[in-house]
């Protein structure tokens, strides 16, 4: 499991290189998985929303078909330098981190493995931020406030963002978006 002792929250301005960094990693993951493991590999998170400040970590959603055995993702992703987080409280999800000590100097990529139905909320959230600049601006303010308050507490920062995301998605469902 990665060492998270030096894992502070830092938001940086949008970097136009993020889509290309995702594309390169998408190709590496596709090659590592090989032809026997079919999965959709999608860019999510703030680095997937043009203009949005973010932690400089590329979030990747790997949508696994129902027929894939979950352990089959571990070896290929570890071969790319990802560390598997086995203590995920959600047994229906897998999470991998690239770049954390002792494998690097800081997080560079996250891979979130989800089943198709579970992936829809994350895709809807990304799409809402892309389509509605006013929502993206609200999200930036939430992230900045949380980063200032929880600079060294990634779990509290993430939980604060999750509350905003749940509320936004609930409102989007009510509004029919």
In order along its 177 residues, the chain shows pLDDT tens digits of 444 445 789 999 999 999 999 999 999 999 999 998 889 999 999 999 999 999 999 999 999 988 888 889 999 999 999 999 988 778 789 999 999 887 788 899 999 999 998 899 899 999 999 999 999 999 999 999 999 999 999 889 989 998 988 888 888 664 544
Phi-psi region for residue 34, left (φ > 0), alpha (ψ -120 to 50) or beta? left
ω into residue 30 within 30 of 0, thus cis?
A: no
Which tokens in the block code for residue 96? 């991998």
167 vs 24, 86, 162, 172, 173, CA distance in Å? Answer: 33, 29, 9, 9, 10
Q: What are phi and psi of 90, to 5 degrees?
A: -95, 110
75's CB contacts (< 8 A; 6+ apart) are: none
Q: Could you give all domains of the chain from N- to C-terminal order, each with its CATH number? A: 18-172 (3.30.460.10)
What is the reported pLDDT for 78? 96
- pTM of the predicted structure, to 2 decimals: 0.89
> C-alpha dihedral over 146, 148, 2, 28, to 10 degrees?
70
What is the reported pLDDT for 6? 54
């Amino acid at each position: 499991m990665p060492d998270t002792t030096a894992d502070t929250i830092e938001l940086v301005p949008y970097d136009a290189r993020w889509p290309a960094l995702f594309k390169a990693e998408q190709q590496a993951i596709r090659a590592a998985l090989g032809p026997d493991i079919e999965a959709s590999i999608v860019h999510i998170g703030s680095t997937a929303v043009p203009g949005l400040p973010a932690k400089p970590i590329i979030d990747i959603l790997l949508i696994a078909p129902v027929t894939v055995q979950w352990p089959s993702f571990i070896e290929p992703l570890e071969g790319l330098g990802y560390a598997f987080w086995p203590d995920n409280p959600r047994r229906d999800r897998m999470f991998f981190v690239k770049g954390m000590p002792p494998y690097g100097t800081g997080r560079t990529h996250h891979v979130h493995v989800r089943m198709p139905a579970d992936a829809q909320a994350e895709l809807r959230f990304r799409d809402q931020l892309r389509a509605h600049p006013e929502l993206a601006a609200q999200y930036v303010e939430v992230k900045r406030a949380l980063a200032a308050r929880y600079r060294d507490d990634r779990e509290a920062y993430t939980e604060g963002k999750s509350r905003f995301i749940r509320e936004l998605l609930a409102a989007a469902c009510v509004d029919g978006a």
